A and B are shown apart, each in its own frame.
Chain A
């Protein structure tokens, strides 16, 4: 009941905003005048003048792709440099040293690709300057990159006999200036009202009420953890009466982290940390905001192609997939752990306890607030976490894995969701065309071999990266060294890491030690290729479609706004996901589920 209420509250809020926000995005990206563009037009023109941009140029898809790649590569070099030089730069009140080269590479790739995978702990590694000028800036720019690719692909459907698909520089400025910046400012203030902090202070020392005795891991002169003969960490007793409380500009990063489906937290605990996500209300707001723009872009799509029914059809397909998998995660976790039940522990929900599997979850969120967040963060490319995913039960862990592996399109990341589901729509009508023996078409555009080859590059790139990466991870000493739990769960940890990196999600199972040269390098490479190879293919499809003439609707045209098409689309998405990943999933969460229930 709590889950249903929270689902309706969060998803309902996002759905209520679909039309107004979708219209706003379409207007802004199409250059139509409204209050926001009138207020910001001077800044927009100034930016073009300063950067020497001719905003009237309509770029071909190749020019668009080259500008996008160059822009993001420069961003990666900047974030890399910032981390390596942070000890000499200002706004470093804790005097943090430079991060290692491999960690800096991983983080640069991670934030430029909207993955926001974090191999480091923000509060004990990153200066405020790195957090703000490096990571938060990329939160905006990587989200804007996703939006502009989506808009370019939509223009491919909307235009006829055109060479160009828009101007990358204009699109990136408009999506940042008129959409992401104002919305994140509003959201930051809302989050501050809930208790999220925003300051540039040095860390605070608090005196504890009680003296704390704990076991502290011992490390060698290089800072590496010492282990005994059986591989367990060596610890020594320690005592403390103080606690360090990290401060920083959290709210400003938190807002764009959710709004831009980035997911990189200021703190290592991410949205489980009380300074990032203090209350049940802030949790509900964050879930709704994660879903906000991805759902709204379906309406933007419908409006730009001149038939909003097309957008609603994609939205319903997204909603059905999201609802089904989110509910599965909730049911899986609410049932509780059978091993604990054997000891007679009551795991049923009552007035006094959330019940179910509460390991790794915050009591202020409970099962419902945790599992809906798990689904929202992996159905999009967000990757923020308010729960330890490693502690999910096998079938609970299956849901985020599969949501990522489906391609994060239900509703998907900011921009990436709509362009990914559009590629699946192209594939769906192609399959339908083969079945009934007609030339496939979508929105009046013939789908031919060129589009199908490009769609294949788009769809196959990520599974190849994920499965090859996982194979290398489980076959090498460097890959298996970081596993916390051997067996099926350990396999899931590696599969999750590469699924998260390849699909640019960024959430972590967290049982795997990944801040090592192997994982930093391998995941960094997978993140880049998993982001930009599909983007190049999507832009090429946009260019190809924009050049085509529109075919008039005839009796043989398959309607793409009705229930049949929605069912076909959902079937295509699940079929591709299952074909790609079932063997790997069977070795991980499925085996673990049977091991757990057979005891």
Chain B
């Protein structure tokens, strides 16, 4: 179970990190 929840924490981090990078990428394209 620990591995599952640690993976969820990392996934949430990646999802938020990904949002930031995506926003920055869209800005660069403009």
Q: Which residues of A contact B (CB under 8 A)?
A: 61-62, 65-66, 69-70, 73, 76-77, 80, 84, 100-102, 104-105, 108-109, 450, 454, 457, 521, 524-525, 528-529, 532-533, 536-537, 539-540, 544
> In whole angstroms, what is the CA distance A149 to B1 when docked?
33
Find out whether the CB atom of A521 lies under 8 angstroms from the CB atom of B27: no
Q: B residues within 8 Å of A by Cβ?
A: 1-2, 4-6, 8-10, 12-13, 15-17, 19-21, 23-24, 27, 30
- Of chain B, the residue at the smallest CB distance from A77 is B9
Alpha-carbon distance A109/B12, docked complex (angstroms): 10
CB-CB nearest in chain B for A541:
B23
Min CB–CB distance A128 → chain B (angstroms):
23
Which residue in chain B gives the minimum CB-CB distance to A537? B23
Q: How many residue pairs, one in A and one in B, have C-beta atoms under 8 Å apart?
A: 64
Whether B1 and A450, one on each chain, are in contact in the complex, defined by CB atoms closer than 8 angstroms, is: no
Q: Chain B residues near A69 (CB, 8 Å)?
A: 13, 16-17, 20
Kindly report which residue of chain A lies nearest to residue B21, judged by CB atoms. Answer: A62
Using known A-B contacts A77-B9, A101-B4, determine if residue A450 contacts B17 with beta carbons closer than 8 Å: no
In addition to A69-B16, A450-B30, A544-B27, 17 A-B residue pairs with Cβ atoms within 8 Å of each other are A61-B24, A62-B24, A65-B20, A76-B9, A80-B6, A101-B1, A104-B5, A105-B5, A105-B8, A105-B9, A109-B9, A450-B27, A525-B8, A529-B12, A532-B12, A536-B20, A540-B27
Shortest beta-carbon distance from A274 to chain B in Å: 35
Contacts of A65 in B (CB 8 A): 20
Q: A108 touching B9 by the CB < 8 A rule?
A: yes
| B30 shortest CB reach to chain A, Å | 7
Compute how far the CA of A539 lies from the CA of B16 in the bound complex, rounded to whole angstroms: 13
Measured CB to CB, the closest approach of chain A to B27, in angstroms, equals 7
Question: Which residue of A105, A450, A533, A544 is within 8 Å of B16 (Cβ)?
Answer: A533
Looking across the interface, which residue of chain A has its beta carbon closest to that of B4? A101
A578 to chain B, nearest CB (A): 27
Inter-chain contacts of A450 with B (CB < 8 A): 27, 30
- Give chain A nearest CB distance to B25 CB in angstroms: 10
